[in-house]
Amino acid sequence: MKSLSRIRSGKNVDNYPLWLLLILFFGSTVGSVILTSYLIADLPLTFILLAFALSSGWSFIYTLVGTRSYGIIGIKQDVPYVKEGVFLAYMSLTGFTNTQVWFAPLIITTFGADFCYFMKIGQICNTSSKSMYKAYFLIFPIAWLVSFIYVSVFWRIAPMPSNVYPGTNIYWPVQAQWLRLFASMGSGLLNPLSLLVSFLCAVGIFVFSEVTQISIPLIALAFGMSQPIPYPTALLIGMAIGKLIEHRVGKEFWMSFRNTIVAGLSLGTGLIITLSVAIKLILKNIWILPY
């Protein structure tokens, strides 16, 4: 919250006014709740209030947490299945059984943390935040329109799901079954004892860190424990390689050029993936032709 208090509008500050940013944020989240209540008839008042708390309250609070996570470890730490857990608890307590709410267009997101991450990258590259805002809102409708064109082209090549798009055959049924598990009031998905034990462990680690003055970042610990083994392992290997390179070429050189090296590798990887996908689509398109 302290960081929000530093947002000011002025000649030397590259930000829009805080009140304008808050209006945009709460306007979108409140609007999503109003749209949900319009699309789904006869929603209980308590559910609408709960939707407001999730969409506006939780999104705002955890956007701040996600932004701090980016600042500490460079990766956003999300709390998974918050909406699903809250909906299940509400349905268990009230007997509410309208499954349409699982498909409601509620905005429950921490994308603000990602946007802050992009803004910081622009700041490092000497690009003003206002310029990035303008570019984003200019590109968004173009990308939205082009996405329909691309999807229609892909759909003309072959139906979805199909063997031409194996990802749809693999992941769409999994996602459908996962959503069905929540919508069917799957038992055992919420374990209050596990939640309580995890909370007490986190509080204990935090208190120990504060008392002993030993830095134990809970966000980094939570991220490592909540991810599949390959992800934190890859981060550990990358950190070790970085330290070896730093020892080899010198800390000053490595600190000056590591961002450029990573950007070049990422750009090259992205280009290779893009070309590979394009070639794959062309070959698939030729393969399914009648001749």
**Integer Cα distance of 278 and 271 in angstroms:** 11
Query: Residue 142's pLDDT is what?
Result: 92
**Integer Cα distance of 34 and 143 in angstroms:** 26
- Both tokens of 122, joined, read 């622009």
Backbone φ/ψ region at 228: left (φ over 0), alpha (ψ -120 to 50), beta: beta
Give the Å distances, CA to CA, from 53 to 83, 93, 166: 11, 17, 39
Contacts of 62 (CB under 8 A, 6+ apart): 78, 79, 110
pLDDT tens string for the chain (291 positions)? Answer: 555 555 554 445 566 777 888 888 888 889 989 998 888 888 888 988 999 998 888 888 888 888 888 887 777 777 777 888 888 888 888 888 888 888 888 888 777 888 888 888 778 778 887 888 888 888 889 988 988 888 888 888 778 887 777 888 888 888 888 777 776 665 555 677 877 888 888 888 888 888 888 777 777 777 777 777 888 888 889 888 888 888 888 888 888 888 788 888 888 898 998 898 778 777 766 665 555
Query: Residue 9's pLDDT is what?
Result: 47
What pTM was estimated for this model as a whole? 0.68
Query: Residue 14's pLDDT is what?
Result: 60
Give the Å distances, CA to CA, from 136 to 118, 130, 147, 235: 10, 10, 16, 30
DSSP assignment letter at 187? T
Q: Where do the structural domains in the chain lie, given as residue ranges?
A: 1-126, 228-291
